[in-house]
Amino acid sequence: MSQELDPFHDVGHVIEVADTAKVIYDSLGFEQRQSTDLEVIELAALYHDTSRRQIKANLLLVPFVDEKISGDIAYEELIKVGYPDEFAERVRGTIRGHARISGLGRADDTNSMIVSDADKIQVFNPDRFERGLRRFEEGKFPRGLLNLHIIALSPLRQKIVNSLHFDKSRELQADYYQKLRGYFYTNRTRLGNLLYKPVLNHLYNTLGKDL
């Protein structure tokens, strides 16, 4: 995946999602692991944002086609390198299930739940935000896009917390969130150079109330 297709959904992000998915998987009990496949989970995590090759940073398209396009790309590429159809289909199904806005996923698919939680947790990773912020500072993306991301962050947090499936996921999310709060306070001047004043004020007002 090109680093320049989307300010936040880069190669670093998919690797971080895969690593987080492995941490969640490792925290599961024996019975829960019986309904999972670590190879499917890790490949789904690595392919889950490949739709950016086509839709790039289009926030209007992401909720409706992201998981479908990413799943289809994963399926086609896995078949090409020799994976059996049944396995490639499971990876596609896990990707489609990790974000259910368009109704493609199954609520009882543990593989999808793990990838979904890992992806949501990484929303609050300050390292990911730092990589994106640098791209805005370098003028690679319009500042308006950063403002949209910040506006969406406040209502998104509680929605994400309520949708996590595993105890380890909630623990990781809380830890990343506190680190992101510290990052925002440390980098207020940099953010102030890019955010519109009402958005900047909104960010720090909500941070003070526990974003």
Least confident among 63-77, 91-105, 137-151: 91-105
Q: Which residue has the tokens 């209007």?
A: 60
Report if residue 142 sits inside a domain: yes
Render pLDDT for 29-76 as a digit per residue (tens, 0 to 9).
999 999 999 999 999 999 988 877 665 555 444 555 667 888 999 999
**Residue 168 belongs to some domain of the structure:** yes
The CATH number assigned to the domain holding 92 equals 1.10.3210.10
CB 97 within 8 A of CB 106: yes
Residue 197's nearest CA partner among 140, 150, 128 is 150
171 domain residue, yes or no: yes
- Looking at the domain assignment, is residue 6 inside a domain? no
CB 154 within 8 Å of CB 135: no
* Mean pLDDT of the chain, nearest integer: 87
Tally the domains of the chain: 1
> Is 26 a domain residue?
yes
Residue with tokens 């380890």: 168
Q: Name the band, by pLDDT with cuts 50, 70 and 90, for residue 26.
A: very high
Domain-located, residue 1: no
Rounded CA separation 106/124 (Å): 25
The candidate with the shortest Cα–Cα distance to 49, out of 33, 70, 31, is 70
Average confidence (pLDDT) over 68-87? 93
Asked whether residue 3 carries a pLDDT value surpassing 70, the answer given is: no
* Average pLDDT rounded to a whole number, residues 12-37: 95
pLDDT per residue as tens digits for the range 102-138: 445 555 689 999 999 999 999 999 999 999 999 999 9
Residue 185 in any domain: the answer is yes
Q: With bands split at pLDDT 50, 70 and 90, how would you rate the model's confidence at 6?
A: confident
> Would residue 127 count as lying in a domain?
yes
pTM to 2 decimal places: 0.88
* Alpha helix positions (H), 164-208: 167-186, 188-192, 197-208
- Domain that includes residue 121, residue range: 11-208
> Which of the four pLDDT bands, split at 50, 70 and 90, describes residue 91?
very high
